[in-house]
Amino acid sequence: MLLARLFDEKFASLYRAGKIMGGVFLGRGQEALSVSIGVHLRTGDVFAPLIRDLAGRLAFHEPVLDAARTYLGSVQGPMRGRDGNVHRGRPKSGQLAMISHLGAMISVVNGILFARRMRGVDGTVGVASYGEGATSTGSFHEALNQAAVEQLPLVVVVANNQFAYSTPTVRQFACDSLLARATGYGVAGAAVDGTDLGACLQVVGRAIAQARAGRGPQLVVASLLRLCGHGEHDDAQYISPALKASPAGRDCVKVAEQYVLQQEWAGADTIAHWRAEAAQTIEAAVVTAQRESAPDPFAPHYWSALASQHRWERREEGS
């Protein structure tokens, strides 16, 4: 989570320097929750992350270069300049490349889990990560109901960070807690303090283990606060100082550091060393991505959207 926090900070500074095309979206304040997903996933599992999931992606073995290359538009990134920033992925490695439309990835995860079952592959878990705003979409509802009907090993992690862009939760839903929805869908539900790394590891870990053990879909709802704007273009003036000072506004990275120190798992100098190491890794990735070529608009492969293109072309030549 430290690596993710520092990487995000690097992207923010590159954005301010005008080095990044398009938006930059940070996971500041959500690293504890996100990383708890990544560390519990295994090779063969599926993760549909959202915009604030750099920590979870890295923990689920997304190459450090992927984020740098995608943000900086390197042709060597997984998206080859076709899509940017957080819309990256490697479907073959179980890291799905999201579409922007909120809620839409859950049923795709369902489909992969459904296919695994049909092919007789056991033990796969799929996690989809969303904010509380996305819970209001039809896709979210359809997909959770579908997963429940099919009893798929799906875990949906909802980060209730109190705002969807600028919209507070009172304008998003009217139930007391999103956890109540779990009962409605007939899936297991668990709440967690998203600022507490230990709690997140435990609750998310348990949900993933339950799904893996065949106990059906799991909904985890975490409460926390987005410690940044919606994107780096947004100063988030709509977040009140009182909310920032509330327990939900704690910085999960600081909380985790204090916990590590308290438990004497590591000293201040070790943490400083981790930071320096992470900074070095990030610097190297950014320098590499910056040196790489940008996409070439004259490369013909950019301008064909069909995997079956050759099928049609061969026929044209042959006829």
Partner 1 sequence: MSITYLEAIRAAQARALAEDPRVFIYGQDVGAFGGAFKATKGLAQEFPGRVVDAPISEDAMAGLAIGAALDGLRPILEMQFADFSTLAFNQIVNQAATLFWRTNVPCPLTLRLPCGGTAGSGPFHSQMLETIYAHYPGLVVLTPATVEDAYSMLLEAVAIDDPVIFCEHKFLYYHLKAEALPTEALPANEARIARTGRDLTIVTYSAMVHEALAAAEELRGEGWEVEVVDLRSVKPLDTDTVMASVARTGRLLCVGEAFPWGGVTAEVVARVVSEGFDLLDAPPMRLNAKDTPVPYHPNLWSAHRPTARTVAMAARKVLHS
Q: Which residues bind ligand TPP (CB under 6 A)?
A: 52, 100-102, 130-134, 137, 159, 161, 163-165, 226, 230
Task: State the number of binding residues for partner 1 (CB under 8 A).
Answer: 44
Query: Out of ligand TPP, partner 1, none, which partner does residue 120 contact, by CB within 5 to 8 A per kind?
Result: none
Of residues 141 through 160, those in contact with partner 1 by CB under 8 A are 142-143, 145-146, 149
List the one residue out of 107, 52, 112, 109 whose CA is nearest residue 85.
52
Distance, in Å, from the CA atom of 252 to the CA atom of 255, rounded to the nearest integer, reads: 5
Closest approach of ligand TPP to the CB of residue 30, in Å: 7
Please list every residue from 82 through 101 that binds partner 1, using CB under 8 A.
82-83, 87, 89-92, 97, 99, 101
The CB-of-44 to ligand TPP minimum distance in angstroms stands at 27
Question: CB-wise, 85 or 210, nearer to ligand TPP?
Answer: 85
Q: Report if residue 186 touches partner 1, rule: CB under 8 A.
A: no
Which option in ligand TPP, partner 1, none does residue 142 bind, with CB closer than 5 to 8 A by kind? partner 1
Q: Closest-CB residue for ligand TPP?
A: 131
- Residue 238: contacted member of ligand TPP, partner 1, none (CB under 5 to 8 Å, by partner type): none
Contact assessment for residue 215 and residue 221, using Cβ atoms and an 8 Å cutoff: no
Q: Using CB under 8 A, which residues numbered 5 to 34 contact partner 1?
A: none
Taking CB within 5 to 8 Å according to partner kind, which of partner 1, ligand TPP, none is near residue 143?
partner 1
Question: Torsions phi, psi of 155, nearest 5?
Answer: -120, 120
The answer to whether the beta carbons of residues 38 and 56 sit under 8 Å apart is yes
145 binds, among ligand TPP, partner 1, none (CB under 5 to 8 A by kind): partner 1
118 binds, among ligand TPP, partner 1, none (CB under 5 to 8 A by kind): partner 1
Residue 196 lies near partner 1 (rule: CB under 8 A) = no
The token pair at 89 is 């992925």
Distant-in-sequence, close-in-space partners of 70: CB < 8 Å, separation ≥ 6: 77, 78, 79, 83, 84, 85, 87, 88
Question: What is the contact surface with partner 1 in residues (CB under 8 A)?
Answer: 78-79, 82-83, 87, 89-92, 97, 99, 101, 104-116, 118-119, 138-139, 142-143, 145-146, 149, 304-308, 311-312, 315-316, 319
